Amino acid sequence: MNLLCDMQSLDVGWIVVQQRFNGSEPFYRGWSEYRDGFGNLDGEFWLGLDRISTIVNDGRRWEMAFWLKGYNKQTKYSRFDNLALGNATDGYILRKVGRYSGNAGDSISTHTGMKFTTYDRDNDPAPYNCAKKHRGGWWYHRACVTSNLNGEYVNAVSDQANSWNTIFSSQGVQTSKIMIREVI
């Protein structure tokens, strides 16, 4: 399994599981693509739910970080100290993320307890398919989003934008990296 390691966005030793920076890779994809991964490690990509689940369910403790840059060139991050993610059998449920630290706010904790949803696999608790409405794949909750980093890549305020609501509201994010690493 090839991985991209980030040694500079926050500090050393992070495995990048999602990277977006120019909109060249469409993220409005189906279940099998989110399960298996897509894109290129040299460009924009999603590592794949199967790979992410395999990594974090190895018996060690993992943390998760979100590194974000807005169109105003402002960079922010959110870090969570205890990631627990399900597997294919339970819809890759986001079990927990742990305690927050950082300067971008916590836009993911409201998504804990949610299964991953895509346009062709509606696992969210909303009365409609949040992935179709918000044009991405994510752990959508009943109101759909507090974050949607796999949404449409747009420099606009939009319900479909790749967003992190605590800092950028529903304005699209120019650059995002979702990263994981073992807690030492």
- pLDDT tens string for the chain (184 positions)? 799 999 988 888 999 999 999 999 999 999 999 999 999 999 999 999 999 999 999 999 999 999 999 999 999 999 999 999 999 999 999 999 999 999 999 999 999 999 999 999 999 999 999 999 999 999 999 999 999 999 999 998 888 999 999 887 778 899 999 999 999 8
Q: Do 140 and 127 meet the contact criterion of CB atoms below 8 Å apart?
A: no
Q: Which CATH homologous superfamily contains domain 4-182?
A: Gamma Fibrinogen, chain A, domain 1 (3.90.215.10)
What is each CA distance from 164 to 2, 50, 109, 130, in whole angstroms?
Answer: 28, 24, 12, 16
Q: What local confidence, expressed as pLDDT, does residue 158 receive?
A: 87
Q: What local confidence, expressed as pLDDT, does residue 86 receive?
A: 98
Q: What local confidence, expressed as pLDDT, does residue 159 receive?
A: 86
**Distance of alpha carbon 168 from alpha carbon 182, whole angstroms:** 28
